[in-house]
Structure 1
């Protein structure tokens, strides 16, 4: 048996609290408007004062950054100026040192130191100009003497060691003299004489040193004489001759 499942549902109307449409219902009351939305109190609207504060803060930060940049720039400039001044000072010192070095080199060229030469046979004394401590710089060694090539003040020195095994009455003489092609003869610059230098027939030794300042002319030649070559010790540290220009 088949049942009818199509039910007819009664229509229900609800009009302003009146369920029966056939009965008279009181007039409908006016519908109240929806309330305004409640503002979100978690976000407060920014006021003008807060906006001004934020703007002032931004401007202050920009000014601070600008001043910091200016300060760093000034610091870099001062540091670079200091380094530049130090470099200039160093260069100036090097320049003056170079000038002094060049000046000293020029002065060093006018000097000579000769040492004893044991192979000689006659006077004036012969000298060693290049070996050992001997040298010539701006001064020429020629014909057993030192030749001046520039007029000026020179300090001239000579040292001779006399040594013997027997005593006698002979005078020991040590002389430095100069010659010049423009003037005849020779001129004694320094002289030393030794008397009573030994006793009792024993080994003896006596040193003779001469040194003084002279104004020498170009082409002057300086030489050394002794009284007896056989009594001279020709070791380079004991018998020598030289000069240098002031």
Structure 2
């Protein structure tokens, strides 16, 4: 069922030249009641008539029974966004990779700086060597190098090892200080003896091989003694005597070894003496004499 009105509120056939009719909404039959809602008084005084607005209520009559309003279900609690966890994990991974990258970069930087410093030091050392070869050393640097050389010589162990010399003329025994296994470091070989340049503890040793073709009853004597200009005379440090060293007329050989620790003073001179030079075998591996500072 449709209802309509014109501008003056009459039917469309009542007046001519009026405004077009305004149609209202369809109204259900019997089940719903239409209640007109009056417009405000200020709007009713206007020449233009507005269409009426109807309030539709399915249960306007209190006498009729209305079905109960179904309870409105509460909204469920918001579901947490699980997509944030992967984002957090990815962010943590990215931060971890960044930290590892920075650490590796820092380590590489340290290695490069170390290599550069080593290269720079090697270059300076090469320049110093070149300047030393061309004799253009500054006085301060030359003094420093001299001091270092002296300290290195002092730190080096003082030692000497002498070997037998067959060109013997007289006692004490003469020695070879340079050739073969012989050497002298910090110890001077002078006048057939070893001269100590620094006071300290020294281990002194001497080995002599006696050999003959005819047995004799002569005593074999092997002595190591010292001298010092501050005290007259000589002082025996070690001595070895042998008798009955052969029992037949065949060729024989006997070894005599002496070795002990002594406290020697500066300018002490050490010598080796034997009973008979003709019975000494002067091979460097069989007859030798030496000492070293502890």
Q: TM-score, normalised by structure 1?
A: 0.64
**Residue of structure 1 in register with 2:220 after alignment:** 172
Aligned length: 178
**Residue of structure 2 in register with 1:93 after alignment:** none
Q: Structure 1 pair 54/134, CA: closer, same or farther in 2 (3 Å)?
A: same
Q: 1:168 deviation in Å?
A: 1.6
Asked if residue 131 in structure 1 is aligned to residue 160 in structure 2, the reply is: no
Separation in 1 of the partners of 2:89 and 2:179?
83
Asked if residue 69 in structure 1 is aligned to residue 90 in structure 2, the reply is: no
Q: Which has the larger radius of gyration?
A: 2
SS in 2 for 1:196: coil
Question: What per-residue deviation string (whole Å, max 9, x for no partner) do you get for residues 185-229 of structure 1?
Answer: 000000000100011211100000000000000000000000000
Q: 1:72 deviation in Å?
A: 3.8
Contact 1:109 1:139 in 2 (8 A): no
Which of 197, 213, 223 is the aligned partner of 2:245?
Answer: 197
**5+ residue gaps, structure 1:** 1-48, 88-102
SS in 1 for 2:236: strand
**Residue of structure 2 in register with 1:231 after alignment:** 279
**Residue of structure 2 in register with 1:183 after alignment:** 231
Q: 1:65 deviation in Å?
A: 2.0
Q: Describe how 1:1-246 pairs up with structure 2 within 5 A.
A: 61-62=90-91, 64-74=93-103, 108-246=156-294
Question: What per-residue deviation string (whole Å, max 9, x for no partner) do you get for residues 94-139 of structure 1?
Answer: xxxxxxxxx9975654000000011011100000000011000000
**Residue of structure 1 in register with 2:4 after alignment:** none
SS in 1 for 2:102: helix
SS in 2 for 1:230: helix
Aligned-residue Cα RMSD (Å) equals 3.3
Q: 1:69 deviation in Å?
A: 1.1
Separation in 2 of the partners of 1:177 and 1:56?
94
Q: Structure 1 pair 109/58, CA: closer, same or farther in 2 (3 Å)?
A: closer
**5+ residue gaps, structure 2:** 1-77, 116-150
Higher RCO (C-alpha 8 Å, min separation 6): 1
Q: Structure 1 pair 217/54, CA: closer, same or farther in 2 (3 Å)?
A: same
Separation in 1 of the partners of 2:286 and 2:152?
28
Separation in 2 of the partners of 1:230 and 1:59?
100
